[in-house]
A = this chain, B = another copy of it.
Amino acid sequence: MSTAMDSSTLGETLLQQVDGRQRVVIEGVYPEIDCGQFPIKRVTGQSVVVEADVFADGHDSISCQVLYRSDTERDWRAQSMRLLENGRWRAEIQVTKLGQYRYTLEGWIDPFKTWRHDLMKRVKVPQDLRIDFLIGADLLEDAAGRASGADSLRLADSARLLRGDSDQESKVEVALSDETAALMDHYPARRFATRYDKELIVIVEREKALFSTWYEVFPRSCAPEPGRHGTFHGTFKDCEAWLPYISSMGFDVLYLPPIHPIGRTFRKGKNNSVVAQPDDVGSPWAIGADEGGHMSVHPQLGTLDDFRHLVSKAKECGLEVALDIAFQCSPDHPYTREHPEWFRKRPDGSIQYAENPPKKYQDIYPFDFETPQWRQLWDELRNVLVFWIQQGVRIFRVDNPHTKALRFWQWVITSLKEEYPDILFLAEAFTRPQLMYRLAKLGFSQSYTYFTWRNTKQELTDYFSELTHGKTSDYFRPNLWPNTPDILPEFLQVGSRPAFMIRLILAATLGSNYGIYGPAFELCENAAAAPGSEEYLNSEKYELKHRDLNWPLSLKNLIARVNQIRRDNPALQSNRNLRFHETDNPLVICYSKSTDDHSDTIVVVVNLDAFHTQPSWINLDLESLELDPNRSFQAHDLLSDGRYLWQGKRNYVELVPESMPAHILRVRRRIRSERDFDYYL
């Protein structure tokens, strides 16, 4: 029986890695993104529900806990996990501070729990338990050693009782008492505990990361009246005058397209024409001119002081300014002279302009993220962000982040958030799903989505089920846009005003974050540049606009109402609570959102047909709504203030697109019944 061992490399490695007595396994940990490579996201005050399969060989009982701490804390806090079923455990931890938290898990064989569990079975069959009590006494004594004060004395007393001459009944009573169990739980032996092999990260952002309402406006179109030849250029000051209007509609983020000097070389004219007229203002995304680049302000908008003033005035109106970050240059950008090494050269020595063959964008030079000077480039782009942070900006809407090196975003967002944990980034990437999800994993707080093109009930149901359930929702926060300066979707082009109402209500209730490009949206601008095109006719990207904000059919009042409903109802301020309900009519969609405690429940029903009145029976999933099928409830339409008495699963709706294509129903549960007057929460 010699024990000469002759194992080779991998086997030996396994032997060296472990204490063979760590018998507990931890696997199937949720949430965990891509093997822990990326953090999950929460906002302050939210919780993280952690689940895992924790088990061991044999039949011994197990205990396990989540360990967690914020990055400013040195010691782990512990939260006991409770067994759900079949070896699946769960705990909930609270994240209260901006920044990073870490969490991991620990599990161990719990000899006292095992002993107690066995004893409960043993006492059912008359037998001699003396040795069992001695085993228990040892365990209690061990725990007394770990405990202190009264707890220690109490445990030692119980151990003495189990060793002593008391009758079996008294011993069983002490051994199985809840008090003993609680004490033993409090001083676990954690012998041969297994620590999960990863520390997982939670990024905690401020609440606006999860609940925000965006209004995009071109400051240069804010002039109070058109000048001669329509060239009167709006300024930051003019934009300030709009703040009460925007604020009155209930928005809380004011998003400005780039505010920098605009290039002149290859400047685009009206309607994206290749040749600009002398008075054409150019696209704000062709950044950089003699007057400066990404850290300068377009002189016609005002000064840096004016900008800071706008930021602070906006704040007074409850609006936070979000800045567009487009990391690209016009041929006139100072970088092109000062840092030609940051751009790709063509064989003729010229700088490579942007292209999507056969289309050429000669007014735009992309950065070359494969430049040998990539670190200097990264540093400079980071400096751009720091500069605007120093001007008071805390939200950045990033233009086409998917065309810049992905590792750059991970680094720049991570490193900036370490200094400025309150900054937020919105990714404007309309590209393949993996790439959009990847940007979110790398750190973007919010993301544009395919909502813009999802119109049918099936499309909306599939897409929002994907976004709001499962792992995606742990890192990807959708921000829904019915229109943007780049996208006037076909549905809005053909559907006119009711289509705008439909898309507004869908965006505002399907997504806790949404935004509109105004005033094009509330004024229902729906003329496309050409058939089959999603570009606006006379796009504001290339020219100044002057609009009548008091157009009688403006949707401003509806928008104000919808945004008020969002503010009043916490159910609409998150996404993971979204549930779809069946409807008989494929043109009518129904979904709900509830707070965790069901104190606020909103049911939304939308007619997706902009042209015809649509009736439908809706089949509510009463269980998910925690509604009693045998009691009626009030469905209070927060849009029309109508009140309906509904009961059970099937209820009838009929929606007229011209007047109001949707119900946003607050479920008011009956809290008194017969004899009392009816009263709804």
Contacts and interface: CB of A to CB of B under 8 A. Distances in A.
Interface in A1-52: 1-3, 5-12, 14-15, 18, 20-23, 25, 27-28, 34-36
B415 A10 contact: yes
Contact of A380 (B3, B127, B382, B403): B3
A338 interface: yes
A606 B55 CA distance: 37
Interface stretch (A145-153, A168-176, A405-413, A589-597): A405-413
A231 B433 CA distance: 72
A415 B12 contact: yes
Nearest to A71: B10
Nearest to A197: B37
Contacts of A347: 131, 134-135, 138
A383 B435 contact: no
Contact of A20 (B20, B23, B369): B369
Contacts of A56: 406
B407 A8 contact: no
Given A9-B418, A370-B23, A418-B8, A358 B434 contact: no
B1 A383 contact: yes
Interface string A335-370: 000100000001110000001111000000000011
Interface string A112-124: 0000001101101
A438 B370 CA distance: 44
A125 B374 contact: no
A454 interface: no
A6 B408 CA distance: 16
A138 B344 CA distance: 14
A403 B57 contact: yes
A649 interface: no
A109 B370 CA distance: 11
A59 B407 contact: no
A357 to B, nearest CB: 4
Contacts of A416: 7, 11
Interface string A628-663: 000000000000000000000000000000000000
Nearest to A383: B3
Instruction: Identify the interface centre among A57, A118, A375, A406: most chain B CB within 10 Å of its CB.
Output: A57
A370 B57 CA distance: 12
A678 B230 CA distance: 84
Contacts of A25: 406, 434, 438
Contact of A23 (B34, B119, B191, B407): B407
A20 B405 contact: yes
A676 interface: no
A227 interface: no
Contacts of A135: 346-347
Contacts of A405: 20-21, 23, 57
Contacts of A100: 10
A233 to B, nearest CB: 27
Given A87-B434, A347-B138, A435-B55, A411 B14 contact: yes
A134 B346 CA distance: 9
A533 interface: no
B418 A7 contact: yes
Contact of A1 (B338, B406, B419, B433): B338
A539 to B, nearest CB: 23
Nearest to A386: B6
Contacts of A379: 3, 5
Interface in A397-444: 402-408, 410-411, 414-416, 418-419, 432-435, 438
A58 interface: yes
Contact of A415 (B7, B358, B382, B434): B7
A376 interface: yes
A379 B4 CA distance: 8
13 contacts: A1-B338, A3-B380, A8-B418, A8-B419, A10-B418, A20-B375, A20-B411, A27-B438, A55-B432, A57-B435, A58-B402, A86-B432, A124-B358
Interface of A: 1-3, 5-12, 14-15, 18, 20-23, 25, 27-28, 34-36, 53, 55-59, 86-87, 100, 109, 118-119, 121-122, 124-125, 127, 131, 134-135, 138, 191-192, 295, 338, 346-348, 355-358, 369-371, 374-376, 378-380, 382-383, 402-408, 410-411, 414-416, 418-419, 432-435, 438
Given A7-B419, A86-B432, A87-B432, 14 more contacts: A8-B415, A8-B419, A15-B375, A20-B369, A20-B411, A57-B402, A57-B405, A59-B356, A86-B433, A121-B358, A122-B358, A125-B358, A134-B347, A135-B347
